[in-house]
Structure 1
Amino acid sequence: MTTLNLASPVHLQIQTIFGVRSQLDSCLFFCDEHTVIYPAGNQFILANVETKGQRIFRCIELEHIDCIIVHSNAAIIAIVASGMNPDKENTTISFYDLHTTIGKRKRMFELRDTSMTITSMAFSHDAKHLAILDCGNREYTLSLWLWQKSRLAASIKLGQTEGVTVLSQVLFHPSDNNLLSIIGRRFCRFIRHLDGNLRIQSSSAKLDQYDFISHAWYDSNRFIAGTSNGHVCVLFNGDVQTEIDVVEFRERSIPPIQRAVSINSSLGKSISRSGFYPNQQENLDTLRSTGEEVTSISVVNKGFFCLVGGKRLCLFSKIADSWDFAKAREYVIPSNEIGTARSSTISYLSSSQILHDKQQQQQQPLNNTHSMWKVVVSPKEEHVLVLTNKQQIYSVSDMAKDQSAESKEPFLLELIFNSYHQLSIRGLDIAIQKPLFISSGDDHTVRLWNYETNTIEQMKIYNEPVYAITMHPSGHQIVVAFASKVSLMNVLIDGFATVKEYPIHAAHQVKFSNGGHLFAVIDANIIQIMSPVYLKVIHRLNHGQTVKKILWTKNDLALYSQSSNYFVIWDLENQKKIFELKPTYRLDGGFIADREDKIVYLASDDGFIRAFHNGQLNHEAQLPQDDKPSCLEIYPSNGALLCGTHRGSIYVLKTPLAKILTGIFHYLAHSARITQIVVAFHEALIISCCEDGILMLWETHIKSSTKSEDWTSVVLHNKARFIHLSQTIEALQIEEHELKRNQEYRLHQMETTYLADLQRRTDMSVNERRHHENLIEHQIIEKENEQKDFEIKYADLQEKYENEKQRIEEEDRENLGRELQKEGDLIRLAQKIMEDNESRLKSTIEASENEIRDIAEYFTGKIRETENELTALRKKTRQALESNEIEKKNLETDVDDEQLKIKLEFEMERRHLIETNAKLQKQFKETHEYQAHILNVKQAEQEATAQTVKKRIQDNVLRVQGMSEEISSLKNEINERKQTITEKVDRINDLELKNQELEKFQYVLKYKIDELTRLIKPREQEIERMRNQLLEMASEREKKENELSRNRFHNVEQKRTLHAVDTQVEHERQKRKEYDNAMRRIKNDILVHFADINDPKRVKNAVAYLYEKHVQNDNVKNIYITADVSGGLSEEILAQDRQRLFLERTTSDLKRKLNSDLHTTKANRMRIMNENALLLQA
């Protein structure tokens, strides 16, 4: 802030700023882990992303800013500005501290004595060096500064001789201050600072084929660079190690040839530059039309963020044991362009626009392209923020959330702060009875703000421009001027509801009266006065020229209107002009009147502010620095003027005005033309807005104030009556407050007693529950021990079974060997005896098949018996579970909600035991099935062996037809096979014995289940006892509720008493009204006969008539009641009566709302007590 005098009548201090300065695409930085800095107007904001708090410091360089950069670790900000000195065009750089003394300038020096265009800036890792890349006369200059000493260390010029066409960015090595990297179109080089000179190091010729626009160092050996055609390259020692195509589903006319050292990316689109044909190397520049350029890169742990085409934010993660990166996430801006703004409401009008609206939109098009400018990451990578071209700041809030491989939907970014205006703000107004103010702008939005919580209460988007807006003093209604209509709306809890629409096109200002009973609308050169109560036009005033601004007087009986060169004061009662002014200068800076409506201040385009008193020019003052005013506002307490200018500054002017500059005080505020300034009713807050879409909330401090007791402007007559009424209301409120305090004290006593009893019973219930839990835990431990014993025994049995199985297999192999040896002998003998023994062999084969069939039937019967036993066991278990479910349902119908919770927990434990038992049964079943499967396998093996033998015998039959003498040897073979079958039968008997042992284990498990069932019965008895205890508690609760009902009845009686008092007050008020009507009638009669005061005869007749009418007839009561007092009364008196009735209805509404709030509060209190009781019982 710069002032010309220290004795300012009003000291302004910025409290909160809503918005981000536009036209700066790289102005968002992190100062520390939780604080972000960005410019807004001519201030810097240090905002905490967690608490949403703001710290603000002013910076004069922001008026001429070219570029900024912040070093997070050193907490230093560098600002480059041009044109700071009005005498010459120079470029300066300033350094400010952001850590200890926020906003303190540490150093400032001149970079060049002429203007320069900054392309890129970079701090070294220790913040001692600053590299600046500027462009001028088709040539780039890279300068290396020791900024702490204000000394230029080295510089180098880069032009076409070095192969430079367009450069984009310069960065320092992450650990070496003397090594820099610089990129651009077909240019990527390392520059070494050595002996006071900058030397360009050579690099691979392949890098000259890329159009680099952004890059970031990944480690000390590699950096990541993005191109204009949607590729990200990982460069190692000056060569491309990995290339990633971030454009999905890109169509290529010529397929690339795979390079040997190339590594495929996550998208499968890694491209080798050597893979292009020679005649296709120049096609890289032609791919820029895709709009998928990589504009910003930020490195994080094991990956990096990059902005693709301003539409997508992609997170790439490094693949282990390689230098390839896979796309892990993708983020986009929400389609509704407001993200997750708190309490935001979006609505689009359904009516189609007319041709005039389309022409308006063509003249002032709304930019719907929402693109991301920059991505920043906090030092510890806890927060990731994105700055967009519509002055919004988004955050990545779901970093820990996993994305499924099948999901292809991108994540949505969320607003970290409020949703700000995106274009110029045209309308601004503030309520009196609520901490609310409303704004509208060229972004087609209407936003309702709360200046106490600094949040948006409501927001609505329309499909046509919003030209002006005003708010009712109560904050319950607004009037919005669109391009095709003017709408009167009610402010609801969830949006704005339209009450009536007026066909008025392009109304550039609307204004509610101070009392709120009227509002004025500008319709070209006509001013229409409308009533929000009757919803009709009351007056129409013809200004004669296109009206730019209107203003109501303090008593709402007159209206000010202003055009470019014509100013008028209107009397609304007779719709005539009280005063008019036609100056020779243009009135483009607005106007304002003092609190007594005696002095009017007019601002013109020549920079003068003139004060007119009774139509005569009194004083005038000119703004310094050739600044032009854009709007005026007055501070009611001391009459100080607040003037907003085209440059965005705010001037505070002492009144009366003077030509010298001692009474003008300057505040740096916005960076664009200020459109409106409003002052809150309590005068502790001032709000300003500008064409840059920024809202500023100013806190005011006054050293000396002449503010007197001010009456609300809606009170238009009979001040004493309303003083008495307010005193009566205060007395009734005091009495009501005392009754309320007594009732609250009794309720507090009852609540304390009830809570103590509830706590005692809760402690008893908790102790008993803990005891039950300990018993259940002990039983679970015992069950686990038994389970372990069973597993050990089962393991032993399984081991024995495996050993026995191995022994049997070895015996089978030995028998098979012997059989094969004998088979060879049989083959030699069978050739001789084949013919004679064919019939005998067939009978032998049939006998063998019969024996095998008998064995199969025997084992099948055994398996069926086992399955029947398992089925019976499952049926018993199912019956037990059904009985438990029936018992559970009976218990659920008997106990209340808290007992149900305890019962459900116990049932969960029992269900756990049942499930464990089911698992054991399942294991037992699996054991049985496994053994049966083994038997089936063995039977199948035997059948396969029999089939093999049968086949071999059939073969032998063909060969041994003539060997009848060897029948005896075949009989011996059959006997041996019978012995083998006998051994198998013995083995089956052994398995049956083991099956019996398993049945014994099943019996033991059944015994354990019975024992657990026996232990459940005492628990059920305990549950029954607790249920009885809960019933007793319920009865006590009913007693408490009965007592509360009696207290409520007592409250109802007290309210009836209060209602009787209100009725009496209303009766007295009606009686007073009747007396007033009678007095008006008498006064009107006297006024009628006063004209005949010079004629004695008429005077005598008039006195006799008045005596007969008002005294002799004694008809006062009839006059009070039945006389038509409306006749002869003026319109002003009738308006006063209507205003009084309006205030009485408002008072009754407030009382009714107070009673409803009391009932709601009591109901909420009882609900909270019940919920606390339920939680304590749980």
Structure 2
Amino acid sequence: MLFTGTTTGTIRSMKYPVTQCKEYNEYQGHAGPVTRLAVTCDDQYLLSISEDGCLMLWKISDKEGRGLKRDKELAYAEEVLITKSDLEEKNQVMSELETRVKELKMENEYQLRLKDMNYNEKLKELTEKFIQEMEVLKTTNQILKADKEKNDLKHQDEISELIEKQVREVQDLETSNNQKLLLEYEKYQELQGKSQRMQEEYEKQLHELEESKTLALEELTEHYEAKLQDKMSQLQWTQEEARQHQREHEETKKQIEEDGDLEIQDLKIRYERRLREERETSLRLKGETGIMRKKFSSLQKEIEERGNDIDRMKAEQQKLQGVIKSLEKDIQGLKREIQERDETIQDKEKRIYDLKKKNQELEKFKFVLDYKIKELKKQIEPRENEIKEMKEQIQEMEAELERFHKQNSLLDLNITELKQKLKATDREMHRERQKVRDIEAVVKRFKTDLHNCVGFIQEPKKLKDSIRELYSKYVQESDVAEIVGVDADIQREYAKQREHLERSLSTLQKKLVKDTEIHRADNVRVMQENVTLIKEINELRRELKVSRSKVHDLEEALGLTRKDRKSSLADSKGSSTDDRHSPRVLRLNAEEETARIMEMQRLEIKRLRDLIQSQEPILAIRPNSVGKLPAIAT
């Protein structure tokens, strides 16, 4: 079986699969269109729901009145039936959750704005601190520049004075040393000439003495050797003669024994003469040898005197050599002094070169500091431009907030008008309800009287009298005409007011949709701007950390004190506390108040919409009093 619901409130049943003839059975049960159908798990009952608010239960059976057989096991349905109280509780919970979500959104927006305010204040503090530190660095840099220039001038003056003194001292030393060297050199040359002449003379004398001595010795040795050879030859001859005489004597002794005494005496005399002659010659030779010895001793004395003279000359030469050595030592000392002066000059030149290097390094450091200051200025300028752009954006946002405030004021006026109209409609509704209550009371009384009349249905006369009484009691022509006219006027006025309210509500809904879309777009844009601002703030924090580290390094390099930093921090803290009460913060608080007011107005508009929607079915239930009761026939 296949079941379908229609817009007229009927339920159609047909066979499945559907045939071309489309045969179906139709059952009337609901006063409004059917919205939902469901079959029970045992295929015995059909549940239907309609817009009239009724739930109907249909029993499923075939033409013979038998129930359907199930070909499959029971399956659980997806629908869950709940009571109206649970649904209302869930709706209340949903509304509470929605309000809670809105409150959380408002709190988040408020916290984001507070964070933006704090970040803006911190940015101001950091920029002020950075500017103060930059000013302090500029002042210290200027002071250091002035000190450096003064020190440079002092160093240049001192260097020029030292160079002049050194030049004068070097010139004086050179002149004095040159004069001394010239004098000593002249003395040295004179002494050297004297020593050379003395050495030449002594060498000549020694050479002459040695030559004369050698010649005399050679002559004496030759003379005495010749004499000795003569004497030796004479001695040999005499010895030979003596030997011959002895031989002859022996021979003669043997031959002449007789003439021995005379001949011996003669021989003795002759030999004694010869001995005397020999003795005289020996004495003469001894005297000559003594003379030669004396001459030799005198020559030795002369040689010794010449040696003493030579030793004396050597001593004088040694003295002169000592003087020359002392002069050479003085020259070496002077050369050492000159070398030491040259070394001192080189050391001073090295110091001057080191000072020049330090000066160049300081100039490089100055150039680096100037370049860093320029870079920091370049970095600060785009930040200042960005801050200006942010200020312009904030001003634009303030203008937009003022525009929203004006729109909110216009919406407030519209809402007040709508409230007044709603109050008027409430009054009219109250009057209409009172009329309906009166009519219902009259109808109840009429029903009771009619029920009493129906009790006389067996007695026509009493029934007729009672009906006449009813007619006279409840029906009057003027009243009927007035009621008809009043009902028609009320219906027209109600229709007009309803159309007007529907139009105004549709326009307000369109405006609200547009405003909500614009507000959402603005919120999205503001959130994006807040995100970008937070990113920029984080980047600025990083850059500030880097710049603080650089500034700290520069302070350490330049030797800044911490007291200035503490004073600058105290000033910056004072300025930050003053900025917290600035008109910008008050402006942001006013913006938050306007946002809250807008949110409360939205909630009020939603409540009014719900109230209007709840009033519409009550107005639709009210019956039209256009019809006219029929007259009772007499």
Assess same fold via TM > 0.5: no
Q: Which has the higher contact order (CA 8 A, sep 6+)?
A: 2
TM-score by length of 2: 0.25
The structure with the largest alpha-carbon Rg is: 2
Higher strand fraction (1 or 2): 1
TM-score by length of 1: 0.14
Higher helix fraction (1 or 2): 2
